[in-house]
Chains A and B, each alone.
Chain A
Amino acid sequence: MGREKKKGTSGSAKNYLTRSQAVRKLQISLADFRRLCIFKGIYPREPRSKKRVSKSSTPSTTFYYTKDIHYLLHEPLLNKFRDQKSLAKKISKALGRNEVSDASRLERNLKPRMRLDHIIKERYPTFVDALRDLDDALSMLFLFANLPSTAEVPAKIIAKCQRLTLEFEHYLIRTHSLRKSFLSIKGIYYQATIQGQDILWLVPYKFVQRTGADVDYRIMATFVEFYTTLLGFVNFRLYTSIGLVYPPTFDSKSEEQGAELGAFQLEPRNGEEQQQIEGAMDVETNEKAQAEADRLLSLPEEQSEQNGQGDEADGVEDAEENPSSALDTFASIDEKADTLLQPSATADSETAGKLFENFTVFLSREAPRNPLEFILKAFGCKRVGWDSSLGEPGAYCSEDDTRITHQVVDRPDIPLPSPPLTDGEVDMDVDEVDGMPPTKSNERVPGRIYVQPQWVWDSINAGQLQRPDLYAPGATLPPHLSPWVKAKRGAYDPTLSLAEQETAAEAEMEDEEDEIEEGKAGEEVEGVRGDGEARKLEEALKDEEDGGMDVNLAGSEDDESEDDEVEPNGEAAVDEAEWGGLSGDEVEDIGDSAARQAQAELEAEALGRTPAPASTSAKDKRKKEREVAQAKRKRDERERLEDIDRRKGMASRKFRKSYEKMAYSNARTDEEAEKLRAKRRKIERGVVKS
């Protein structure tokens, strides 16, 4: 017999280290360890059995993989951390001696410069790896770019974040790789596809972000430090891949004036044809543009329209000439055939680049300029103008420009008192003379399409232009839906109609409610005509239902009736027999009930009463249809359940258990969906009533 094995010397106990062990091993402070972990992307592990791993009696909470820590031991950053520590000591010593200049000199000259390049290469060996992990980086940098500068967040970091993110946006504009965007309560989500990788990030709105005291900015700053380095390299790669110089020329003066995207000037590499991005064109020619616009305004409107048409026509011709590589839509002719999942319409950068290509868009003062400018440009719009209060440089045109095709407004539509017709021209002249903007707020310039900002988002998400009249100023907007939700079975889908997705039980309940309501309505109406008929009708309806049951009974118990024996618990037997799946009967039943309805009407007529009004018959018809659909659904459901029961019986215990678990959790999502459907039903009914 060999020696007894000592605990904690082999196996999983050796594979894991607790955090304090790791810190001791690396001989750094906990804060430095944290930074190192963030930079190197080292995270704790969950051992399969904590008890087996921990060597102490007290339960440890965090375990690191031993190899990870060994890997950290060779990190060059460790030495930098140590240098920094010793420098801090020197500086504090100097300050203690009141040698301020020494301290500042030390800080200036000895401060170790940390480069994270090698870590980025390590963590992301290929560019695609980096793109895959860009979600968090972009969200974080966009957040920091929108934060106010404080003691914790120095202005330098913010400026850097802004610069990097704007550079990234420029790349997206250039390559039209933005795919989708979504206005959420948190901010604006964007999704871009670069080299086949979907990158989703969140940009906060330009509000002052509320921060609690429980946010540790040091941790976030560490992340930001890493992410800025990462995005810098990513930007370099992206820019060079499309033949641009990185970093692009940055005009800090115009940046100060609020030209965000326009502050950058992209240059091609090694003497390619000098191209300037459109945004930077009209930077300081605002006055000229004004004059031009005035001149154009004085022209007869036809001309400009002609121009516009000509432009459009050209665009169309171009489109026809170039054989498009865009995907075609496959519409199935036969409804029964299986439909294949089609790639979404915006999946192609070419189609994305053409969406707003021919438009000249003007953003009103109240519209959010940054996201709109970015999205419009990313989807091909080259001419975006905005009110000068939104930032002077970079705007393509002013509001009175006649080339404007679309104007994004986000204010309630308050009709102006219509000006006297004759004064129109005089007013114009006055405006021209004064140099005032020709349109007051809410005044509409003919020939322009006024839309609310959501139109832009819905258009790009749908991959095609939406009807602008739905998004006209003051109109009630259609709901803005997330483009990333995939329809799941059982989950609620607001895009489908209620009838398409509700379950049989719900439909039944709805019908009942309907009936009740109808009954109420009927009483109200028929109180005049006499309740008798109505009651009779209702009873007849009820009878039909019962009758249906009777028919069922008859159908299933045919054989039994031969012996003319009435069984005491016939009902139960009936139910059981009915379970046998004779649902075909039900459809017949409904047909039957229709016939009876007709019969009842005839009878009523024969009795000399007024026949049921046409409206009720229409209602009945609708009801019949509904009943048919309902019966079908019921039957399908029942068949499905029966089938599942059979299969469950043949499954092994393990699979059966997990099936039941999943079925349970699915039922919970179903519950949620049901709740939403109920709400929607209520809302719809309310709308119908009103």
Chain B
Amino acid sequence: MAQRAGQKRKVVEVPRPEEDSGVDEELDNVVLNGALSDDGESEDEFSTEDGDGDVDGDEDELDDDEIDSDEIPSSEDEDDIRGQMEKLKTNGRPKTPPEKLMGSDTGHDINTFSPETPMKPLEVEGKKRRTFTRIDVDANGEPRYIYDEIEPNYDSDDSDFLVPTNTIGDIPLTYYDEYPHIGYDINGRRIARPAKGEALDSLLDSIDIPEGWTGLTDPNTGKPMQLTGADLEILKKLTRNEAPGEGYDPYPDMVEYFTGKGMEMTMPLSAAPEPKRRFVPSMHEHKRVMKMVKAIKEGRIKPYSKPTEADREREEAEQDFASFDIWANEIPRPDHPMNIPAPKLPPPGYEESYHPPPEYLPDKQEREAWEQQDEEDRERYAKLVKEKFERCLDLYLAPRVRRSKLNIDPESLLPKLPDPNELRPFPSVCATIYKGHEGRIRSLSIESYGKYVATGGDDGTVRVWEIVSGKQLWRIRLSSSEAVNQVSWQPSRETCIIAACCGEQVHFIVPQGEICNPEQDRRSREVLDSGFGYAASNATKTAAGVDKPSSANWLRPSQTLQDKGVLLTITLRSSPKTLAWHRRGDYFSTVSPSTTSTSTAVAVHTLSKHQTQYPFRRLKGLAQTVCFHPSKPLFFVATRQSIRIYDLQQQRLEKQLQPGAQWISAISLHPLGSNLLVSSYDKRLLWHDLDLGATPYKTLRYHSKAIRSVQFHPSLPLFADASDDGTLQVFHGNVMGDSLDNATVVPLKVLRGHKVVKNLGVLDVEWHPREAWCVSAGADGVARLWT
């Protein structure tokens, strides 16, 4: 109803004064109606007879009204209205406070209620005649209707119609505390502040509290607020979360409009008659059933019977025991490298026996030690189950890896060497000792027939010994102060010449006595003398041509020396340390590493011409030793760290070897000329295959001290080295004739015997030309023959 009233009010706002009155009348009726019902005389009346009739009427009227009155879309309004009506009908809320509904419509709060409002609706309605009194023209020249003073909420049941409503908006009243008024009415006039009650009045009020007294002041009007009993009732219900209206039934009985007795609807979908097939048994079903019947008759289908325990057991037993051969047609699977079968447990050993040999049982000490151990650490056998469990864990948890465990004899790792006995002959024992030198023996040389050994040492003597007996046959003191650095027999067989380097001189000696037969003696002297003639005849030429001071003096020594056998002496600028003969015995080369200029370190001499040449103008590094190739015109020069091979005919560098040694001490060329042995002071012996490359084919490190000398046997596949640790090592070094096979190197024997004197052991070693004998010269002043 209030909704409807709101609706009307909207309509009212539309400037249609003529119709407005009618509407208002209607409205009045309605309001009256509502007011009547508000009186609360009878619920029945309202909810049933009155309600029905009235509302229907209202509705019609409203419809009319709207139809002719406005442009405002009405359908939703209608719906609203209907909804409201239905609510009214169904809910039966006779005491719905209109002001509240009103408030919801107009935006007023509930505290704008005044207690009197519901009491005097009639009077309100009577006074409220809203008609505009005059029409003015406003600033824009449009008509302006000026109304009577209208109560703002005219159709509320607010009873203080006398007091114009304050229209100050949402401003607290305290703002007007300073003023005599408290706001303005709709026409802008001030509303006077209501007179406050006297103190006595308030006292009286406080003494007997009037009905509905709240003690609150209406903020809008400044009057004390009072609540009626009905209001209180409503508030009470609201606080209890109940429906505010009285007699409201939240669960009304359902009204059966379309169902229930006598209201059934008969709505057949199709009126066609039932087909025949609905009444005839299915042929296909019949066929299927007959099939089953047949199967049952034939025993193919057995009627279901509940499986008994016995059946179940039988079934299980069938499952438990294999009833077919799973490997009936076995196809072997090729072994896959990723499939690693579990390793088998090792078989038990002797110690696991229940009755082992007594040595496997713990003796007293072990038992005591065992008992003293911690309880957990004690090893003993108790838990087979545990062991099997751990095996299970191993089987499924342990990663399996194929490890090639070398279950072989470790010796099979080492190369199979030929038996030393098969490689005989080689020197193994000391056969002869040559004693006589005072101080070290620096060098030795064996005569080409292999009968005599010449040695030279620190005492400045050269001695010749018979090789087998060790008898000293001849000796000569070349110098009292300087050592004989090198002695060397001339390789030629017809002659018998020893070249000895002593100080800066190289002496050529033909030993006296029975060492060389007269023929040899004569031939030797011839060879040594022939050069003088040549030098004399060619001296002027060369001197004129080159105009260079002779670098070496080829002289006859003093008569005393000549008498002793020294027939020729060369004096060089620096002292030669090594001397190497060419195969034919005409050329020889000396190396003097201590020279000041590297160009004069290596000298090549021609014996027959008494000529000395320095083939290298400039040599990289300090020359250590040299050697001639046995068959080709190649010349090997070893500096401290590298070996250069020169072609003497073409005068160019053929090859350079890098043995990797820090300081080369000696080199030795294999008689076939394709392999070179290099010994070094840094304890290494290096085998170079000249066909292979610049780096060594094999590096042997067996000595604990520096290696002084190394030598190939001239005819047998042997070589030996001499070291400062006082030992000689003999190797089998077989070089194949063709270059396809690598050389085989087999260590054979360590020859011990020389003593180490002042950190020097064996200084030189030389092989017998035919036999597998070698002679070594030691720093202990003895030379030894090893056979």
Residues of A within 8 A of B (CB): 34, 37-38, 42-46, 62-63, 65, 67, 113, 115, 117, 120-121, 124-127, 130, 132-133, 135-136, 139-140, 143, 147, 160, 182-187, 189, 191, 200, 202, 204, 209-212, 214-216, 219-220, 223, 228-229, 232-233, 235-237, 240, 246-247, 454, 477, 479-482, 484-485, 489, 492, 494, 559-560, 562-563, 565, 567, 569, 573, 576-577, 579-581, 643-644, 646-651, 655-656, 658-659, 662-663, 666, 676-677, 679-680, 682-683
Contact = CB atoms under 8 A, between A and B. Distances in A.
Contacts of B415: 647, 650-651, 655
B327 A45 contact: no
Contacts of B430: 559, 577
Interface in B314-362: 319-327, 330-333, 338, 340-342, 344-345, 347-350, 352-360
B746 interface: yes
B347 A482 contact: yes
B395 A125 contact: no
B103 interface: no
Given A46-B399, A135-B344, A182-B348, 15 more contacts: A43-B396, A200-B347, A237-B326, A454-B355, A479-B358, A481-B353, A485-B349, A563-B435, A573-B752, A650-B414, A650-B415, A650-B747, A655-B413, A659-B410, A659-B413
B392 A220 contact: yes
A536 B700 CA distance: 53
Nearest to B785: A559
Contacts of A182: 348, 353
B332 A126 contact: yes
B127 interface: no
B417 A650 contact: yes
B399 A232 contact: no
B325 A237 contact: yes
B410 A135 contact: no
A191 B346 CA distance: 12
A121 B435 CA distance: 87
Listed residue (B320, B326, B382) with the most chain A CB atoms within 10 angstroms of its CB: B326
A182 B470 CA distance: 72
Contacts of A202: 384
A237 B327 contact: yes
A543 B385 CA distance: 64
Contacts of A229: 322
Contact of B388 (A140, A494, A580): A140
Given A65-B338, A480-B355, A662-B413, A185 B381 contact: yes
Contacts of B55: none
A186 B355 contact: no
Given A646-B417, A646-B747, A659-B410, A183 B354 contact: yes
A154 to B, nearest CB: 13
A618 to B, nearest CB: 28
B360 A676 contact: yes
Interface string B373-411: 000000001111111110111011111110000100111
Interface string B619-639: 000000000000000000000
A236 B384 contact: no
Contacts of A133: 341-342
B350 A482 contact: yes
Given A44-B398, A655-B413, A212 B326 contact: no
A209 B384 contact: yes
B777 to A, nearest CB: 16
21 contacts: A34-B396, A43-B400, A45-B400, A136-B395, A140-B392, A191-B347, A209-B383, A220-B392, A233-B327, A247-B321, A481-B356, A482-B353, A484-B349, A485-B347, A492-B359, A565-B435, A647-B414, A662-B410, A662-B413, A676-B359, A679-B359
A484 B348 contact: yes
A301 to B, nearest CB: 35
Interface of B is mostly: loop
Listed residue (B323, B327, B430) with the most chain A CB atoms within 10 angstroms of its CB: B327
B689 to A, nearest CB: 16
B771 to A, nearest CB: 17
B386 A215 contact: yes
Nearest to B363: A679
B705 to A, nearest CB: 15
Contacts of A569: 755
B333 A44 contact: no
Given A485-B349, A569-B755, A676-B359, A219 B354 contact: no
A216 B322 contact: no
B33 interface: no
Nearest to A646: B747
Contacts of A34: 396
B354 A559 contact: no
A214 B327 contact: no
B716 interface: no
Interface string B426-465: 0011111101000000000000000000000000000000
B333 A125 contact: yes
A334 to B, nearest CB: 23
Contact of B389 (A160, A215, A237, A489): A215
A621 B398 CA distance: 60
Contacts of A580: 428-429, 751-752
Contacts of B342: 43, 133, 136
Contacts of B400: 43, 45-46
B320 A481 contact: no
A125 B332 contact: yes
A43 B397 contact: yes
Nearest to B362: A679
B531 interface: no
B355 A479 contact: yes
A481 B428 CA distance: 49
B327 A127 contact: yes
Contacts of B399: 43-46, 62-63
Nearest to A200: B347
B616 interface: no
Given A482-B347, A482-B348, A183 B353 contact: yes
A195 to B, nearest CB: 11
A236 B323 contact: yes
A236 B328 CA distance: 11
A24 B739 CA distance: 65
B392 A132 contact: no
Interface string B732-766: 00000000000001111011110100000000000
A235 B327 CA distance: 12
Contacts of B349: 482, 484-485
Nearest to B315: A113
B132 interface: no
A658 B327 CA distance: 45
B322 A235 contact: yes
A681 to B, nearest CB: 9
B354 A210 contact: no
A538 B226 CA distance: 145
A372 to B, nearest CB: 15
B147 interface: no
A198 B681 CA distance: 62
A479 B702 CA distance: 50
Given A65-B338, A223-B392, A658-B406, A233 B326 contact: yes
Contacts of B323: 236
Given A136-B391, A219-B392, A559-B433, A185 B352 contact: yes
A94 B425 CA distance: 99
B401 A46 contact: yes
Given A125-B333, A676-B359, A485 B746 contact: no
Nearest to B430: A559
Contacts of B331: 125-126
A186 B381 contact: yes
Nearest to B361: A679
A193 B384 CA distance: 25
Interface in B496-555: none
Contact of A680 (B359, B393, B397, B748): B359
Contacts of B410: 658-659, 662-663, 666
